[in-house]
Amino acid sequence: MHTHTPPHIQWLPPPLIRFASPLLPPKISITSFRTNSLAIRLRSKSFKLRVSKGVISSSVSEQEQEQDQNLKQQLNLGIRRAYPFHEIEPKWQRFWEDNSTFQIPDEVDTSKPKYYVLDMFPYPSGAGLHVGHPLGYTATDILARFKRMQGYNVLHPMGWDAFGLPAEQYAIETGTHPKITTQKNINRFRTQLKSLGFSYDWNREISTTEPDYYKWTQWIFLQLLKRGLAYQAEVPVNWCPALGTVLANEEVVDGVSERGGHPVIRKSEGAEMEFSVLDSDGQEKDIKIKIYTTRPDTIFGATYLVVAPEHPLLQSFMTADQSKNVEEYIDIASRKSDLERTELQKEKTGVFSGCYAKNPVNGEAIPIWVADYVLGSYGTGAIMAVPAHDTRDYEFASKYDIPIRWVVTPDDEKIGDSGKAFPGEGVVINSMSSKFGLDINGLSSKEAASKVIEWAEKNGKGKKQVNYKLRDWLFARQRYWGEPIPVIFLDVSGESVPLSETELPLILPELDDFTPTGTGEPPLSKAKSWVKTTDPLSGKPAQRETSTMPQWAGSCWYYLRFMDPSNSKELVAKSKEKYWGPVDVYVGGAEHAVLHLLYARFWHKVLYDIGVVSTKEPFKCVINQGIILGEVQYMACKDASGNIISAESAETVGEYNQERIPEEKVMKSGDSFVMKDNPNIRLIARAHKMSKSRGNVVNPDDVVSEYGADSLRLYEMFMGPLRDSKTWNTSGIEGVHRFLGRTWRLVVGSPLPDGTFHDGTVVTDEEPTLEQLRTLHKCIVKVTEEIEGTRFNTGISAMMEFLNAAYKWDKHPRIIIEAFVLLLSPYAPHMAEELWFRLGHTESLAYEPFPKADSAYLKESTIVLPVQINGKTRGTIQVEEKCSEEDAFQLASQDEKLSKYLNGKSIKKRIFVPGKILNLILDRENVKVGVSQ
């Protein structure tokens, strides 16, 4: 379906806009591919011509108009580009779109190998792209194009992570609905991405804000809710008054809110305690079970221990009469996943080990049970069970008739068996042992916990311990612009009821006023008619949940939806997920390396356990590309009097100011940068992350306008290794731009006097030489290896080496040049497509086989041959292994070093041993006596 015929060679770009302006020489046409403005860069000047209601206006001042003739000259120079990228790139972008070149059909040939390469899809901000964004996108596009040419079915999609705080904040500030600004931003991002020639399958484009998409985000939430993995609880939260919402820990950095960023961890202080195992006579054995607890204040309420089925000491203390039951239980538990074992709503199961342990604070013998709701991989693999104050322990104790002892009561209130545990803090009761010297009755939970730890350390029974663990994800946001949570609450009882899956999607209602309430009540509470509802099962009045999901929700599973974006019946068809999953290469910023991947993997594991996906992990390989920093800024230090001082002196003067120095006033001296007019003044040279506040953001639109998309793609890959951070340097792009210009001229030929080029090429149809074949296949090997290893910069270097060699050839055989064009195509697809077309092909090269190296041309067949003059070695020459005596002699005669011994001399004899030596015996009559040879 991809064998589309490109346009005829007389293809014309979109209709030209001709400017009848005195600034422009007559009969010069400028093509504008942007409807609102056109920037023509003339060395250090930029002229903007705007089209408004059909009227063309210029921002050029009257003074500049007086320089009409000079500007005409400059403009004529400006259009003599290294190659016509301004025509080529829009042409092939339109061709790819019109012919759906990169669209993957809904049903693919599954006998072919697949390659799923994915970018972390962007949040479409109003600022649009900066040159840091295309770094990862270019890398994935090279991989995608490369794998297509290798015969893979390639899935390379793009979409938008479009819910979230930034759009809502902008909407609040401007009064514009976030849906409008979000769509506007998406359109801008899409246009920019298309202008860079990325081979995305735009037919699979998704946005997290579309109901057809977030229907399945809500569906996944319901699956989490069913399994107790999503739950309601009152917990301390991070409340941001300015944003009017709760933030998860990862959204708070150094005490302030920040969109995304930090690991979700919390510090949990508690105690590590030791319980001695007792023998059948009640005596302590030489076995101690360590437990970790965050609630040492409840230790008097511990009425049993629980160890995980995989606990390393279990075999050493379980009794013989219980061993069979324990072994059977261990076998059953081994077949369950961690998720199945720890589901909050599952019925608790366990088996008695037959053995007891001694509670260290009161000497009470308590039974040791084996239960799979405790994991060997978490903590110590054992817990002290306090059923009165832990929900899981309460359910377990109730089932197996284990004593339940209340040791904490809320605010001195009387507490009895209410049928449920009290897990909160309060006042400690029933917690005193005069024999063991510990009394914590009447203390608050915190005071009691500290006293228990102090007692344990003093008596060698335990110690204070700080553990780090993943914190539950604070999922609700008190904001408008997010996925509605599909839960209702009954008016009478307050009971939460999940919506039926058949009622999805729960559509976000339209609101005119989406500002925060300031009270913690979410903006959705203003949608009165939407909030008020009824329970479809009981018919009872109810209220909808008015918090929305966080921005991260939609990005947890989007990689699955790309596999089957139009499926209205299920999240993803099993056959498609099984073929496309998992993602082969996933590329994105390091700022998402913890947070996003943590949640995505968590959701994926849940979907695996319920049979939605067939793989345990979502991504085979994750690559975090480095950051592109802004251009280096040079700063001079100034003392309190305003005098410029050298950087090394600044530290000794205390306070000092800094002043930015223009690059043209700076020069390098050794490893430092100094002032040109005073080399004794060392400057501070530093590159910063691109940001508006620093004024160092580079817009890719400007780079594409001046150098072309292929130059931008090539430069971003040539700057350095993909995973490393690097500094942007606009002058650096000129080097790769020259490389592309030389490539163009190698194939097409030199420009005509008016700056245009011939329609065809200058390649020949003759057979290539052995040297040309070796040069080509050496390049093929290097480029292939470097793409596969994502070492794109060195792959470009290999192509540059090829080009340097090719410029030394008299003729350029078609078979060599066509292979090189195919090597170049993943990096610079627009130029490659145009050259392929000019080389006489009628189909896009997107699915042409990628060149393969022939090992026959990679072997080194040359040797170093020593050359002697009258038996004394005077130098060496490089010859073919099967070089003849005559060829060797000719090479020696032409060698600069050896020729000085031979000029004007006659050769009496030549001694040639193939592959070993060439000895030239000179006629002695022609050798001057006393002259050193």
Q: Tell me the C-alpha to C-alpha distance, in Å, between residue 693 and each of 663, 688, 850.
A: 20, 11, 45
Q: How far apart are CA 850 and CA 912, in angstroms?
A: 45
Strand, helix or coil for residue 271: strand
pLDDT of residue 651: 66
Strand, helix or coil for residue 812: coil
Residue 278, token pair as written in the block: 């007792």
- For the stretch 809-830, pLDDT in tens is 999 999 999 999 999 999 999 9
Burial class (CB in 10 A: 0-12, 13-18, 19+), 478: buried
DSSP 764: B
- For the stretch 159-180, pLDDT in tens is 999 998 788 888 888 888 999 9
Q: How far apart are CA 438 and CA 294, in angstroms?
A: 19
Residues of the chain with CATH 3.90.740.10: 270-465
Averaged over 81-94, what is the pLDDT?
94
How far is C-alpha 60 from the geometric centre of its chain's CA atoms? 43
**Residue position matching structure tokens 């050798």:** 927
- How many CA atoms lie within 13 Å of 369's alpha carbon, on the beta-carbon side? 24
- For the stretch 596-626, pLDDT in tens is 888 899 999 999 999 999 999 999 999 999 8
Q: How far apart are CA 840 and CA 817, in angstroms?
A: 12
Q: Tell me the C-alpha to C-alpha distance, in Å, between residue 102 and each of 4, 99, 827.
A: 12, 9, 16
Strand, helix or coil for residue 437: coil
pLDDT of residue 784: 98
DSSP H helices in 343-417: 391-400
pLDDT of residue 494: 85
pLDDT of residue 861: 72
Residue 748, token pair as written in the block: 């097409």
Of 249-258, 505-514, 552-561, 843-852, give the lowest mean pLDDT range: 249-258
CB neighbour list of residue 284: distance below 8 Å, 6 or more residues apart: 276, 277, 278, 358
Element housing 214 (H / E): helix 211-226
CB neighbour list of residue 171: distance below 8 Å, 6 or more residues apart: 177, 178, 181, 481, 514
Burial class (CB in 10 A: 0-12, 13-18, 19+), 637: buried
The pTM for the full model equals 0.67
Do 218 and 225 form a contact (C-beta atoms < 8 A)? no
**Residue position matching structure tokens 């309430």:** 517
CATH number of 734-857: 1.10.730.10
**Residue position matching structure tokens 């193939």:** 914
Residue 674, token pair as written in the block: 């100094």
Nearest alpha carbon to residue 791 among 623, 629, 630? 623
pLDDT at 12 over 50: no
Strand, helix or coil for residue 158: coil
pLDDT of residue 706: 93
Do 829 and 741 form a contact (C-beta atoms < 8 A)? no
pLDDT of residue 140: 98
Burial 642-678, CB ≥16 within 10 A → b, else e: eeebbbeebeeeeebeeeebeeeebeeeeeebbbeee
Q: How far apart are CA 728 and CA 130, in angstroms?
A: 11
- For the stretch 340-384, pLDDT in tens is 777 666 788 999 999 999 999 999 999 999 999 888 766 788 999
pLDDT of residue 61: 43
Element housing 272 (H / E): strand 265-278
Q: How far apart are CA 162 and CA 205, in angstroms?
A: 12
Q: Tell me the C-alpha to C-alpha distance, in Å, between residue 656 and each of 91, 639, 645, 681.
A: 55, 5, 9, 15
Q: How far apart are CA 155 and CA 164, in angstroms?
A: 27
pLDDT of residue 482: 94
Strand, helix or coil for residue 849: coil
Phi-psi region of 860 (alpha: psi -120 to 50; beta: other; left: phi over 0): beta
pLDDT of residue 29: 28
Q: How far apart are CA 504 and CA 216, in angstroms?
A: 8
pLDDT of residue 867: 94
Of 69-83, 635-649, 787-801, 813-827, give the lowest mean pLDDT range: 69-83
Nearest alpha carbon to residue 206 among 158, 167, 163, 154? 158
Averaged over 123-134, what is the pLDDT?
84
Residues of the chain with CATH 3.40.50.620: 86-223+551-625
Give the 3-state secondary structure percentages of the chain, helix then strand then coil, rounded to 5: 35, 20, 45
CATH topology for 86-223+551-625 is: Rossmann fold (3.40.50)
Percent of the chain with pLDDT over 70: 82
Do 366 and 352 form a contact (C-beta atoms < 8 A)? no
Nearest alpha carbon to residue 524 among 536, 537, 515? 515
Do 88 and 189 form a contact (C-beta atoms < 8 A)? no
Averaged over 411-425, what is the pLDDT?
70
Residues of the chain with CATH 1.10.730.10: 734-857
Beta bridge pairs of residue 862: 880
pLDDT at 667 over 50: yes
pLDDT at 728 over 70: yes
Residues of the chain with CATH 3.10.20.590: 862-922
- For the stretch 683-725, pLDDT in tens is 888 877 776 666 677 888 999 999 999 999 999 999 999 999 8
Give DSSP secondary structure letters for 10-38.
T---SPPB----TTS-TT--B---SSSEE
Per DSSP bridges, beta strands 427-428 and 382-385 are: unpaired
Query: How crowded is residue 468: how many other Cβ atoms within 10 Å of its Cβ?
Result: 10
Residue 263's pLDDT band (cuts 50, 70, 90): very low
Beta bridge pairs of residue 587: 119, 623
Domain with residues 862-922, CATH architecture: Roll (3.10)
**Residue position matching structure tokens 């540059």:** 800
Q: How far apart are CA 535 and CA 542, in angstroms?
A: 6
Nearest alpha carbon to residue 482 among 533, 545, 529? 545
Per DSSP bridges, beta strands 487-490 and 541-544 are: antiparallel
Residue 464's pLDDT band (cuts 50, 70, 90): confident
- For the stretch 307-317, pLDDT in tens is 999 999 999 99
Of the chain, the end-to-end C-alpha distance in Å amounts to 73
Select from 3.30.420.130, 3.30.70.360, 3.40.50.11390, 3.90.740.10 the CATH code of 270-465: 3.90.740.10
Q: How far apart are CA 811 and CA 85, in angstroms?
A: 25
Q: What is the CA radius of gyration of the chain?
A: 38
Residues listed for the chain? 933
pLDDT of residue 429: 94
Residue 490, token pair as written in the block: 């009954």
Of 50-64, 450-464, 895-909, highest mean pLDDT = 450-464
Q: How far apart are CA 112 and CA 115, in angstroms?
A: 10
Q: Is the dihedral of CA 792, 794, 797, 802 positive or negative?
A: negative
Residue 75's pLDDT band (cuts 50, 70, 90): very low
**Residue position matching structure tokens 């009559």:** 925
- For the stretch 35-74, pLDDT in tens is 222 222 222 223 233 333 333 333 444 444 444 444 344 3
pLDDT of residue 333: 87
Nearest alpha carbon to residue 270 among 253, 240, 295? 295
pLDDT at 274 over 80: yes
The mean predicted confidence, pLDDT, of the chain is 83
Q: How far apart are CA 766 and CA 785, in angstroms?
A: 29
Strand, helix or coil for residue 48: strand
Q: Tell me the C-alpha to C-alpha distance, in Å, between residue 673 and each of 410, 731, 792.
A: 68, 18, 30
pLDDT of residue 475: 82
pLDDT at 586 over 50: yes
